[in-house]
Amino acid sequence: MQPLHLILLSGWGVDQRIWQPLEALWPTSLTVQAVEWPGYGDTYPLAANASLEELADAMAEPLASDAVWVGWSMGGLLATALLAYLPPPRGLILLGAGDAFCSKDEVSAKGGVTSAELSAFQRACQRDPTATWQHFLRWQAQGESSPRQAYRQLRDWLGDMPPADNTTLATGLHWLASIDNRSRLAAPPCPVVRFIGEHDPLIAPPQRSNSVILNGVGHCPMLSQPQALATAIIRHTTLMANANTAIL
């Protein structure tokens, strides 16, 4: 059997440092690599209004097909979309990511983001990207057992400025608004499993179907329950590496 290889993909406005709490929890049998999206960390950004085809070209080498991909938040949305352009991985784990970012229904007290809310967020980001990014960090930390502590962790790692330029942030918001992965997930080319935090403020109830619910966490389980998250990822990675194509 091939050795297990895991690729970790972060979300909008957050780079690979989000995965730091899991670093000491991976078994030696698993090779784990956190990969940056274009424009994050030291990676070269894409041009304004970049297409998914251009994203696929940039990610063709780092997104190895002999690995299981773990996409968190926007990272899950993009990883799913890239299944249409790149050789499929051994499996795909979606963490805090549904078929689409925006809810098609009314947002409930249990979570979700409407298209109108995302449009307002895009306008705010055009006016003041840094303040809007800081607001988003607070927003996604709300579902954790200690939101203030989760937010402080994010700010301690990321600092006072977004880890990507304004063009990269705007392109990411465009993808969040436009990508719909329902058809791709209806007939995926590889095994897929979805993890959703019980209190995730960004996921509406209809998006929680066919998902493994992570109890007691929100959108950032790597901050609030890293051991439980690592255990779940390891278990499903092992299953998916030996599974037939299906949504687990």
pLDDT digits (tens, 9 = 90+) for 131-185: 999 999 999 999 999 999 999 999 998 999 999 999 999 999 999 999 999 999 9
**Residues 65-87, mean pLDDT to the nearest whole number:** 97
CA distance 132 to 119: 13
**Residues 209-223, mean pLDDT to the nearest whole number:** 93
More confident residue, 109 or 228: 228
User: Which residue, 33, 10, 37, is CA-closest to 23?
Assistant: 33
Indicate whether 246 pLDDT > 80: no
CA distance 248 to 243: 9
**Residues 93-115, mean pLDDT to the nearest whole number:** 81
**Residues 104-125, mean pLDDT to the nearest whole number:** 81
Phi, psi of 174 (to 5 degrees): -60, -45
The dihedral region occupied by 96, where left means phi > 0, alpha psi between -120 and 50, and beta the remainder, is: left
Indicate whether 72 pLDDT > 60: yes
What pTM does this model have?
0.94
User: Which residue, 19, 98, 85, is CA-closest to 50?
Assistant: 85
**Residues 6-14, mean pLDDT to the nearest whole number:** 97
CA distance 164 to 16: 12
pLDDT at residue 121 in the model: 95
Indicate whether 108 pLDDT > 80: no
